[in-house]
Amino acid sequence: MEECISFKNMNCPVYLKRFSPEDIIEVEELEKRTFEVGPYNREELEELLTMPDTFNFLLYDEKSHELLGYIAASKIDEVTANIESIAVDPRYQGKGAGTALLNAIEQEMKARKYIFSILEVREMNMGALEFYKSKGYEEGELLKNFYTLSYKGSNHGIRLIKKLT
Ligand SMILES: CC(C)(COP(=O)(O)OP(=O)(O)OC[C@H]1O[C@@H](n2cnc3c(N)ncnc32)[C@H](O)[C@@H]1OP(=O)(O)O)[C@@H](O)C(=O)NCCC(=O)NCCS
């Protein structure tokens, strides 16, 4: 099902869609363009986007049907869901696409009766940290050596948490 949305500074109308298997190559390409270190490979994405208790949204340009970004989450326990991945094409960052994706997944979490949204972010991913903090996420524990690969000299992570209201 497609859901039309609009948000600030975005010239093109966009729409949200759920993942289907034929989208996998596009999502894989988006991951490679977006993450300098450790993009998900196809097998990881298939698991992330198709396993039970996972849910997701893909954001497309309405005219070109180009994939602008995606977000995926999974169940941790009865009250907690984890944002496993969010990526916005570097060409479209800073225009509200990430906000639209996060809003959509938080709405879905609430519909599924989760109370907390959590995630892990690389300690040196300042842009993502600022993004999440601007959306009400608070810093939790430092996750030492959480990532296999280093980014900007660190492989530590930070857990972020938000109580959904
Ligand atoms: C993080 C990310 C998803 C944000 O998406 P986006 O579309 O660029 O974000 P938005 O345009 O909706 O930004 C919303 C707010 O977040 C903050 N923000 C977003 N990117 C930021 C950056 N690089 N630096 C500082 N603040 C930033 C701003 O406060 C912005 O507020 P504004 O609306 O007043 O401008 C996107 O930049 C991205 O894909 N980054 C690379 C992948 C990544 O790091 N993913 C997270 C892994 S945990």
Q: Each residue of 41-77: pLDDT tens digit?
A: 999 999 999 999 999 999 999 888 999 999 999 999 9
Interval between CA 135 and ligand 1 midpoint (Å): 10
Rounded mean pLDDT of 129-156?
96
Rounded mean pLDDT of 71-89?
97
- Residue 21 pLDDT exceeds 80: yes
Give the per-residue pLDDT at 87.
98
Q: Which residue has the higher pLDDT, 10 or 34?
A: 34
CATH topology of domain 3-163: Aminopeptidase (3.40.630)
Please check whether residue 155 is in contact with residue 143, taking contact to mean a CB–CB distance below 8 angstroms: no
- Residue 13 pLDDT exceeds 90: no
Nearest CA to ligand 1 atom 42: 87
Interval between CA 145 and ligand 1 midpoint (Å): 24
Domain boundaries, the chain: 3-163
Q: Is 140 in the pocket of ligand 1 (CB under 6 A)?
A: no
Please check whether residue 84 is in contact with residue 40, taking contact to mean a CB–CB distance below 8 angstroms: no
- Residue 1 pLDDT exceeds 50: no
Rounded mean pLDDT of 68-90?
97
State the closest ligand 1 atom to the C-alpha of 92, by its place in the atom list counted from 1: 7
Please check whether residue 162 is in contact with residue 137, taking contact to mean a CB–CB distance below 8 angstroms: yes
Query: What's the one-letter identity of residue 68?
Result: L
Task: Show the tokens assigned to 117.
Answer: 């949204």
Of 21, 4, 22, give the one whose Cα is nearest residue 13: 4
Q: Is 98 in the pocket of ligand 1 (CB under 6 A)?
A: yes
